[in-house]
Structure 1
């Protein structure tokens, strides 16, 4: 492959000689003025061209994409990562990084991050204690990633609801990523790249959507150039819908994002951002599992039991400042500072199957019993990251050095609600054998839902006291380098040290008795990647990377150490080693069809050791006793197959195994919430200049619920006891352009109206349902 070096888009630097640039004439003119991004293409020494022969420039008609990292004229394909620390194009990076562009996300019809990521290979969803209702839980290549979500390269702490209205592209890094991201990231990381103001041109886009289940969605994206040195951009969102076929459960989203750009000189750029998001749901925890293995399966025809007072709320406010300065052509500095807060809370209803006791006035019958799950979380965080980029020739080789210094201070206060309920209407077996318990039954002796089901519990809710106060302060230093050893061989390498101070306070919500646990440590991780160019379009690469996570790295679970909480031993923080992950990967990338289509393939193996399974479960304790391994192969295709056919596709086939555990029967079992096969395909065909249509399919094989990082739950016979069935879901979409300013898009989700389930809790009492069939029509106007 010809080497391409990414430069900062906002700095006016001369372009280098290049091979054919695939831009239309208008986009090419704009790119020359805005340099978003400016790419320097070295001449391909493998092509024998006379010096006096001019390169042919291919001109194509394509819509302007304000995303500076997009591949011109190929809406599903990103050319560069939005993280400027990846200095080379994605096709030349020795790592599996899946990038979802705004165009691909919009046409998929998905808006919440959970929906978007569920449709990606190698990623599954999970639940947590009480359903982890603070937000979404992601699992990448079998490893927990719910705290490994980043925005513009900075960790986004807390279990919030995340939306796509201000997203330019989503990047999913597969495999350990600690050199870039710090602690955690044992299976990978998710990085959302946000929309920024630009001085290159004015644009405004208004999109209005309506549909089934009272769907309403309005977004506005407008960029206004003040002068050659300043611009502002605003993104606004309002959305509401009932959960398809599960009303009165519903979702509401309100969002605003403001960005201001100021460039007082060619060397200096300043960007100030504000992001606000208010999400309010009456959530539906879906269904539950019934029966015994091998006939254990999801219950059918579960009524909507969500209570009128239920809620799941997330209120996020962040302020970000970016400063970039170019000292000269070889040295530049980039700094990003963020202050953020979020307030999250939930009171939700769970359900499970039960048999009423004989003392019940209605006799003995199968029913659905309801339960309450609740909590709140306040997040306050500060982050500052400085990157110094230095291009330096050493020993005859051109090096691209990056020195990165980062400071973060994350604080998370977790608490409970005081929930009063009345109206218990049945008696069922209690948790202890031979006992009974008064509870709420959703189904009567006649097999039908009771009257007033959605107000049955008659809740009274007040915010209560806190139970855990979690804080981590971290200072990090990283050094990275990219060097071309020859025309064909390139080496990428990096090392990062994270020094952290951990502090956890706990409080008994009844007695108010408190305890405090703190410790400090330093984590050191690194990566190395080697790429060999087979020819001008294809390469092979090998990479090795490590990651570490701290004792108590998950902010929402206190001392529940089996779920990523702090391991306590004899009343103190256990002297445990950090959990560590190692990944080896061999892959190949082919940027074919005049760089319009990127094909990727990789085989990999992640080994996670020193896993903290818990403590004080026996007389010895069970921290640093677990080890698991995931190995697999992944294929991907992104871009344009022909001038009319565009694709985003991937398939991942994996195998997971518990290698070591304090519980001997876990060894040899698969991991919880782990699907061995996942696949996605999204195709778009441009039938005429004005009309396009497409289809998407996502497949996930069977998986089994259980505790994170350990074996899926199983019975005495060794059979997995909490199965989540495999599923295939199909979507359709089409777009008609009335003119260059106005178009309408139709999305039909889950065309076959399949009942499918995303994740289950380890007891089978939570079984998250995917959306039923839904229809959306979106009118988009550019003005």
Structure 2
């Protein structure tokens, strides 16, 4: 392997990968575990006979799946079930490599997907978890997040310090990932041991009291053993938000050992902790149905009570055996614990009148001046722990039958997930320093224009003595995927998967909205089959034209962070229903105008023709119909020597086409923009200096439950900038400026008629020093 640049810093020569990082000691990633990816890449990363051969200079920590000369362009998925290069895979696949993550300044999963067209951020609410909630092609995907191809249950706030690349497979994908995946799935692929030795450290300092440090160590011991260690510490306030901060730390260790030719053992452990302040944003004006025009820094929470804590401990072991290029067998085992704990204040519709003695709005009398309007904030909360264990065992065979080539993947997957969800007990009174008792209501009142969220004392909270609500899922799947090559011009992909899904949920006796509710236990069992059938035509080698048909299934209770159907959870009335079914058609073109650039275009049409709906109190039926259709465009790589591009555009037309409620027929999906697009361009005006920037834009979004209502937030255009300067062969400086114009915009809208809106971060800047040894 070429090791001309063993420090891991990006080469200074133009025409190499320009402004795409090579440093990448950013580790922690909300999920990076080096198991499947470590074993998957072991055959090309360890041992002399498996070395990666490249031309020119290549950073020692470079993404092994990326184009050596154009790291923005990832050539291959880390998912072993997708056996062909991205160019020849018959579906839309967006892969965001760590070099792009660096250049857009992303330091969390949420920040990374915020810049991906067609992937939309959503809100955590009272009925679903506060954390990484996303939509793909208009459909819920918060429980369709994977780590190295294995589902990562438990909604939380993920980091990306140990992530090599983020893969977004679009369109119904149950034949790959099991339940869900209506609009697609996202997998965070881990940093794994490489065949070069390096130590890379990064230190960042920036506005908003931002401090971040990462360390990436890769070492080879002999020809058959390698390990990689990533570490992170991060502490920063949220740009443009008073009192909101995040402190994070993590460690991710991975090793690969080859005890005998063809046999590898990979193991990894991921540990992550987050401590911060929860933030539900700002209230809406019920007259204009848009966010109130208040100071963007206004924080309506309760400093002294509110908090946010996330944690992950996940271990993975992967055994792999391969025989030349004919057979590869893999068995991947994982155990994980993920927790999400918080109390957050939800700013309700402002009160324009005098308050009653109990602090409630009188809703009568003369309207007060604007500077006397108030906002009441509640206390949505959660103490949820997800424990799970899972196994994927599969085999890949490559053979010919009568001159027709086959790459056949067949396998088995099993998982057990157990989610325990409790509430907190908030005391009615606390004592101040003088021994006086102070009332501590669950709802506080804030001035609309000048909220003062600081209590001046802490409210101690403890777990409510009520036993937790417990949800347990056993899921099993078997699958068969065959890529058939009839000739250099014609290929086909046929994939089928059979799944079983058994869910049980126990809710203890409890008080809900002042009413006692008895204990209950419900469950649902389902079996479903999903598939993809696709044809590929290559009139010339650089051009791929494909057509695909695929399906997916959504069983009742699929969204395990929820306990009622409004948010996708299980409840009485849905426990006897069969899964929702989704079908999709997609046609697309992928083209390489040169060796370092991939252009793609796709048209899609997704139909859910038996959507769950409540037809009467406590009565549910599969009677609705939803449709999402649109186009997607992308470009990744180097269009010219010294110029790198990562760009995309998505048009999503998603609406309710049939319903038991005729008033919602024709409504577009809530929280989904019709148009979204980005373009990141970097170039090197002279050796050693690189500069570039990103433009991201999206159109207006409307709030609502499923169908959009009248509350909305404007579309926006956000500008980011990046510059790099090479100090020496061992050191480099990178400057990121995010939201350059300090545009105030909103990520998502809560689903009520008087909602609140998530405020996106304001302008920030940080300087990063990278040193490699």
Both proteins in one fold, TM over 0.5? yes
**Offset from partner CA, 1:153-196 (integer Å, 9 cap, x none):** 00000011111100000000110010110000000000111011
Partner of 2:8: none
Structure 1: segments with no counterpart, 5+ residues: 1-6, 13-29, 39-57, 424-436, 714-720
- Cα deviation for residue 732 of structure 1 reads 0.6
Partner of 2:48: 33
Partner of 1:489: 490
Partner of 1:440: 444
- Cα deviation for residue 704 of structure 1 reads 1.0
SS at match of 1:562: helix
Partner of 2:469: 468
Partner of 1:772: 762
Partner of 2:387: 380
Partner of 2:272: 277
Calculate the TM-score normalised by the size of structure 2. Answer: 0.88
Q: Does 1:520 align with 2:521?
A: no
SS at match of 1:623: strand
SS at match of 1:339: strand
SS at match of 1:264: strand
SS at match of 2:107: coil
SS at match of 2:603: strand
**Offset from partner CA, 1:673-715 (integer Å, 9 cap, x none):** 11100101111111222000111111111111112xx3113xx
Of residues 713, 717, 723 in structure 2, which corresponds to 1:734? 723
Of residues 191, 196, 204 in structure 1, which corresponds to 2:199? 204
Task: Classify 1:438/1:100 alpha carbon distance in 2 versus 1 (closer, same or farther; 3 Å).
Answer: closer
- Cα deviation for residue 513 of structure 1 reads 3.5
CA distance in 1, matches of 2:311, 2:764: 27
Q: Contact 1:280–1:312 at 8 Å: present in 2 too?
A: yes
**Offset from partner CA, 1:33-84 (integer Å, 9 cap, x none):** 373669xxxxxxxxxxxxxxxxxxx943443444221111112111100112
Q: Contact 1:134–1:312 at 8 Å: present in 2 too?
A: no
Of residues 723, 731, 735 in structure 2, which corresponds to 1:746? 735
- Cα deviation for residue 330 of structure 1 reads 1.4
Partner of 1:255: 250
CA distance in 2, matches of 1:282, 1:504: 30
Partner of 2:76: 80
Partner of 1:716: none
Partner of 1:289: 284
Partner of 2:596: 596
- Cα deviation for residue 617 of structure 1 reads 2.9
CA distance in 1, matches of 2:102, 2:342: 29
- 1:704-715 to structure 2, matched below 5 A, reads 704-707=702-705, 710-713=706-709
Q: Contact 1:412–1:470 at 8 Å: present in 2 too?
A: yes
CA distance in 2, matches of 1:137, 1:359: 37
Q: Contact 1:568–1:615 at 8 Å: present in 2 too?
A: no
CA distance in 1, matches of 2:356, 2:518: 40
- Cα deviation for residue 340 of structure 1 reads 0.3
Of residues 164, 167, 181 in structure 2, which corresponds to 1:171? 167
Task: Classify 1:372/1:149 alpha carbon distance in 2 versus 1 (closer, same or farther; 3 Å).
Answer: same
Structure 2: segments with no counterpart, 5+ residues: 1-38, 431-440
SS at match of 2:668: coil
Q: Contact 2:254–2:268 at 8 Å: present in 1 too?
A: yes
Number of residue equivalences: 706
Q: Contact 1:251–1:283 at 8 Å: present in 2 too?
A: no
Q: Contact 1:698–1:728 at 8 Å: present in 2 too?
A: yes
- 1:172-187 to structure 2, matched below 5 A, reads 172-187=168-183
Of residues 91, 115, 121 in structure 2, which corresponds to 1:119? 115
Q: Contact 2:40–2:78 at 8 Å: present in 1 too?
A: no
Partner of 2:551: 546
Partner of 2:610: 610
Partner of 1:582: 583
SS at match of 1:681: strand
Q: Contact 2:60–2:197 at 8 Å: present in 1 too?
A: no
Partner of 2:103: 107
- Cα deviation for residue 8 of structure 1 reads 5.3
Partner of 2:15: none
Task: Classify 1:99/1:669 alpha carbon distance in 2 versus 1 (closer, same or farther; 3 Å).
Answer: same
Partner of 1:10: 42
- 1:260-339 to structure 2, matched below 5 A, reads 260-293=255-288, 296-301=290-295, 303-308=298-303, 309-339=305-335
CA distance in 2, matches of 1:517, 1:131: 18
Q: Contact 2:46–2:223 at 8 Å: present in 1 too?
A: no
Q: Contact 2:626–2:655 at 8 Å: present in 1 too?
A: yes
- Cα deviation for residue 664 of structure 1 reads 1.1
Q: Does 1:678 align with 2:676?
A: yes
Q: Contact 2:126–2:380 at 8 Å: present in 1 too?
A: yes
- Cα deviation for residue 282 of structure 1 reads 0.7
Q: Contact 2:258–2:264 at 8 Å: present in 1 too?
A: yes
Of residues 395, 404, 412 in structure 2, which corresponds to 1:405? 412
Quote the RMSD (CA, aligned, Å).
2.3
**Offset from partner CA, 1:452-473 (integer Å, 9 cap, x none):** x321796331112344211111
Q: Does 1:757 align with 2:746?
A: yes
Partner of 1:561: 565
| Higher relative contact order (CA closer than 8 Å, sequence separation 6+) | 2
SS at match of 2:101: helix
SS at match of 1:650: strand
CA distance in 1, matches of 2:510, 2:231: 40
SS at match of 2:645: strand
CA distance in 2, matches of 1:34, 1:690: 34
**Offset from partner CA, 1:447-499 (integer Å, 9 cap, x none):** 6445xx32179633111234421111111100010111122001011000011
Task: Classify 1:514/1:202 alpha carbon distance in 2 versus 1 (closer, same or farther; 3 Å).
Answer: same
SS at match of 1:753: coil
**Offset from partner CA, 1:102-150 (integer Å, 9 cap, x none):** 1110111011111111111111111243284531110000000000000
Q: Contact 1:440–1:456 at 8 Å: present in 2 too?
A: no
Partner of 1:662: 660
SS at match of 1:500: strand
- Cα deviation for residue 739 of structure 1 reads 1.7
Q: Contact 1:9–1:37 at 8 Å: present in 2 too?
A: no
Q: Contact 1:203–1:224 at 8 Å: present in 2 too?
A: yes
Q: Contact 1:239–1:253 at 8 Å: present in 2 too?
A: yes
CA distance in 1, matches of 2:124, 2:443: 23
CA distance in 2, matches of 1:144, 1:585: 19
Q: Does 1:391 align with 2:386?
A: no
CA distance in 2, matches of 1:584, 1:338: 34
CA distance in 1, matches of 2:442, 2:138: 39
SS at match of 1:288: strand
Q: Contact 1:577–1:610 at 8 Å: present in 2 too?
A: no
Q: Contact 1:562–1:614 at 8 Å: present in 2 too?
A: no
SS at match of 2:48: helix
- Cα deviation for residue 663 of structure 1 reads 1.2
- Cα deviation for residue 519 of structure 1 reads 3.0
Q: Contact 2:628–2:655 at 8 Å: present in 1 too?
A: yes
CA distance in 2, matches of 1:651, 1:634: 6
Of residues 352, 356, 359 in structure 2, which corresponds to 1:355? 352
Q: Does 1:345 align with 2:377?
A: no
